[in-house]
Structure 1
Amino acid sequence: MKNLSILVLEDEPFQRLIAVTALRQLGLEKIHEAADGASALSLLEACGGVDIALCDLRMSGMDGAAFLRHASQAGVIRSVILSSEVGPELRQATTAMIRCLGLDFLGDLGKPFDMQRAADLLERHIALPTRPEALVATNAPPSLEEILRGLEQGEFEPYFQPKVCMRSGELQGAEVLARWRHPHRGVLSPGHFLPAIEHHGLVDCLFWRLLEQGLELQQELGLSGRQVNLAFNLHPRQLSNLDIAERVGQALELVGLPGSGLTFELTETGLLEAPAASLESLVRLRLMGCGLAMDDFGAGYSSLDRLCELPFSEVKLDAAFVRKLNNQPRSGAVIRGAVAMAEAMDLTLVVEGVETTEQRERLLSLGCKVAQGFLFARPLDRNSFRALLADHAHPGRH
């Protein structure tokens, strides 16, 4: 932890002293401090940036919100910890803004300074996938030539985020997420390449490469008597290809696997954008035994209508409801209602974005059973996921 660099942005001198002193007691050595956004930006330009900004919001001159926007554009910070006395609605809006800026939001420290909470949030930063400094310093999208080369060279690969039973920890499956093992930039998450892939019409190409690698893993696991359901995200444009179900069937037949090992996730927005005729593909996938999940349930406006129209087998509750559990009591009521609805419709409910033990316990009390999130596991590459499966097959082994 001592190698982390951090900026303490706080306009009140005594509060800033408390924060700096506490961070030094935690073992941090590279600590910078500033009293307003403008001086903080000048400091960061001079030192080349920091890993984390511990940021107050209310300050004279340039406030914390403006500072975060400028800092993200300059590429001089990677992660943010909030430490400010503002209401829950403003905190939530700021959290959403931080994520939209492409920064990693580690959590809300609040005031007064809580050393144990700070240590936990710093550990969360350490657990983030490595991003080379060259990538932090630029937001330039990859070129078409760069993407095509990556696809041709097999640089795009699946990472697996486990879905688990919250009470027992038993593995229920995994969502397949795209990663780009770039030869110069390291492992890139979708935020760095997916917009460009969508712009150039290469979503379908990426999907089939991920599906092929996922089926290879399932085939390998099958030889040792293990099975795992893998969930793949479908883009709205793919639904207009009426041969998608046929191609999935051919891919399954080639490796000798049943459709029950696959689930396809679609967002409500994607369903609204999909032509009516393309919904035939979803029906055909279900007829093959594949699962069908509505992703980000509750984030749109016509979720219930679509649940009634289409043969879904799973609903994934949007992570926003979990994040709001502490600050918005109605979120608990919504989650409890989603649990009852899923049970009545014979659907599996998966809660996304579970990050803390407190959230897990609250969700269990509301009747939730299956979840995914950083509390249980971050997205894993193939070897790490294979090792996780082996541990679940032999729970007593260490």
Structure 2
Amino acid sequence: MSFLPIRVLVIEEHPFKRLVATQVFREAGCDGVMAVADVGAALELLDRTGPVDIALCSLKEGCTQGLTTIEVLSRANWIKSIIICSVHAADLHDAIDRMVGLFGIKVLGYVDSPVRAGAIAPMLSRYLETAGVHKRQPSDGGSYLLSSKACLEQAIASHEVKAFFQPKFNLITGEVASFEVLTRWEHPEYGLLYPADFLPLLSRFELMDELFFAQLEQGLAFLHDAQVQGHVLSLAFNLESEQFGHGSLLPRLCEMLERYAIPASRLTFEITESGLLEVSPGVLESLIRLRMMGAGLSIDDFGVGYSSLERLCQLPFTEIKLDAGFTRDLETSSRNRAVISSTLALGEALNMQVVVEGVESESQRLSLIKLGCIHAQGYLCARPMSARRVLLWLEMKLASRSNI
């Protein structure tokens, strides 16, 4: 049995529901599952045992005690994420998500009580992916240390850190012409590592430029190989806003584009909204130059910050990527549907393409089409793949269309 390196705390005053929830998490393979009746007992336990990865809390109708529990645990930094048992409406859940997010805690989702294994499993998978931790066997022996700058520099130089590609697709036709470039570390000892494992360290050691140019090299080589096979594709790269102010960015970019004979018009640069609070003259100049070269500029995770509309007016964006959080509950949240519709209308008015992230199910696809959405990204189409896997995948898609 594979064990999940996840520590869980169940907070539930009802003894039977507490027992059921505890058993569900244990059967799911979580390493450590603890249970208490109230927030006082939770704080006492966590003070002895340390923080947990996931807390399960209940919000009962007509009672705000559960909200107090969530707030106290979040402020104390004892939990990384939370699953909430709740019967409240979706619009209230949206507000709770925002409140908890302000404490730096992620809401993995909402479940009924008593808790069912089928409801918990996808939330555990979501935690594993976003937190960048991985299933391990009990004999694994614990965590790894990746704190050496020299180790990270060597990993980039030796091509252990690889570009992976996730398609942006047409919701109606399924056509794919563009991919977002993501990063994975194929570690010789620990296997495939996700960005949360090492990106904070790369940023701390000021190695983000080295990562970008390594990804760009791999991405341009992929575009060349795809073109040889008859696929004319575009790529989107993620950059932190301050990287656009570095003087080496544009000269190195131009040199590499010329070497691979790839026009800048086949590249888009995605900048997260949270990184756009302050834009220096140097950053703005680089953005303008990229647009003049024909490259696209995308505002990523749109809708989760506080300056979206202002930045859309100030900076030369060509694309809006709507955060996946709006897609996750779009079938139950009228507010999320309204945000998606409004963003689509805004994109049309500003002549910007809108890409909706986080599309994972056929029902979401159909709902988005009804709202007028065309472009999307998410597991419904494909998970991130290596360059070699993408080329095989494209050939399979081409073959399947030929057989229709």
TM-score by length of 1: 0.77
CA 1:269/1:334 → structure 2, altered by over 3 Å: closer, same or farther? Answer: same
- SS of aligned partner of 1:225: coil
Q: Where does residue 250 of structure 1 map in the other structure?
A: 255
1:131 to 129, 134, 137: 134
Q: Where does residue 151 of structure 1 map in the other structure?
A: 156
In the alignment, the residues of structure 1 paired with residue 116 and residue 332 of structure 2 have an alpha-carbon distance, to the nearest angstrom, of 19
CA 1:332/1:147 → structure 2, altered by over 3 Å: closer, same or farther? Answer: same
In the alignment, the residues of structure 1 paired with residue 2 and residue 185 of structure 2 have an alpha-carbon distance, to the nearest angstrom, of 29
CA displacement 1:207-266 (0-9 Å, x = unmatched): 100000011111111111112211001222221134523322221111122222211112
Q: Where does residue 237 of structure 1 map in the other structure?
A: 242
Shift of 1:167: 2.4
Q: Where does residue 293 of structure 1 map in the other structure?
A: 298
Q: Where does residue 225 of structure 1 map in the other structure?
A: 230
Q: Where does residue 14 of structure 1 map in the other structure?
A: 16
- SS of aligned partner of 2:400: coil
Confirm or deny: 8 A CA contact 1:242 1:280 kept in the other structure: no
Q: Where does residue 265 of structure 1 map in the other structure?
A: 270
How many residues get paired?
383
Confirm or deny: 8 A CA contact 2:179 2:236 kept in the other structure: yes
Q: Where does residue 322 of structure 1 map in the other structure?
A: 327
In the alignment, the residues of structure 1 paired with residue 196 and residue 128 of structure 2 have an alpha-carbon distance, to the nearest angstrom, of 20
In the alignment, the residues of structure 1 paired with residue 283 and residue 29 of structure 2 have an alpha-carbon distance, to the nearest angstrom, of 57
Confirm or deny: 8 A CA contact 2:319 2:354 kept in the other structure: yes
Shift of 1:278: 3.2
1:374 aligned to 2:376?
A: no
Shift of 1:342: 1.3
In the alignment, the residues of structure 2 paired with residue 82 and residue 220 of structure 1 have an alpha-carbon distance, to the nearest angstrom, of 47
CA 1:135/1:156 → structure 2, altered by over 3 Å: closer, same or farther? Answer: farther
CA 1:172/1:302 → structure 2, altered by over 3 Å: closer, same or farther? Answer: same
Shift of 1:202: 1.4
Return 231-240 or 208-217, whichever deviates more: 231-240
Q: Where does residue 35 of structure 2 map in the other structure?
A: 34
In the alignment, the residues of structure 2 paired with residue 64 and residue 310 of structure 1 have an alpha-carbon distance, to the nearest angstrom, of 38
Confirm or deny: 8 A CA contact 1:174 1:229 kept in the other structure: yes
Return 367-376 or 264-273, whichever deviates more: 264-273
Q: Where does residue 110 of structure 2 map in the other structure?
A: 108
- Tell me which amino acid in the other structure corresponds to 1:108: Y
CA 1:144/1:72 → structure 2, altered by over 3 Å: closer, same or farther? Answer: farther
In the alignment, the residues of structure 1 paired with residue 122 and residue 273 of structure 2 have an alpha-carbon distance, to the nearest angstrom, of 34
Gaps of 5+ in 2: 60-64
Return 222-231 or 34-43, whichever deviates more: 34-43
CA 1:3/1:345 → structure 2, altered by over 3 Å: closer, same or farther? Answer: same
In the alignment, the residues of structure 2 paired with residue 215 and residue 259 of structure 1 have an alpha-carbon distance, to the nearest angstrom, of 11
Q: Where does residue 203 of structure 1 map in the other structure?
A: 208
2:368 to 334, 354, 363: 363
- SS of aligned partner of 2:385: coil
Q: Where does residue 352 of structure 1 map in the other structure?
A: 357
Gaps of 5+ in 1: 74-78
Shift of 1:277: 3.4
CA displacement 1:147-182 (0-9 Å, x = unmatched): 222222222111212211122322241111122222
Confirm or deny: 8 A CA contact 1:54 1:83 kept in the other structure: no
In the alignment, the residues of structure 2 paired with residue 63 and residue 301 of structure 1 have an alpha-carbon distance, to the nearest angstrom, of 27
Q: Where does residue 147 of structure 2 map in the other structure?
A: 142
In the alignment, the residues of structure 2 paired with residue 136 and residue 310 of structure 1 have an alpha-carbon distance, to the nearest angstrom, of 49
Confirm or deny: 8 A CA contact 2:8 2:55 kept in the other structure: yes
CA 1:97/1:242 → structure 2, altered by over 3 Å: closer, same or farther? Answer: closer
In the alignment, the residues of structure 1 paired with residue 330 and residue 174 of structure 2 have an alpha-carbon distance, to the nearest angstrom, of 22
1:187 to 192, 213, 216: 192
Alignment of 1:76-91 (within 5 A): 81-85=83-87, 88-89=93-94, 91=96
- SS of aligned partner of 1:300: coil
Q: Identity of paired residues, percent?
A: 35
- SS of aligned partner of 1:395: helix
In the alignment, the residues of structure 2 paired with residue 136 and residue 325 of structure 1 have an alpha-carbon distance, to the nearest angstrom, of 41
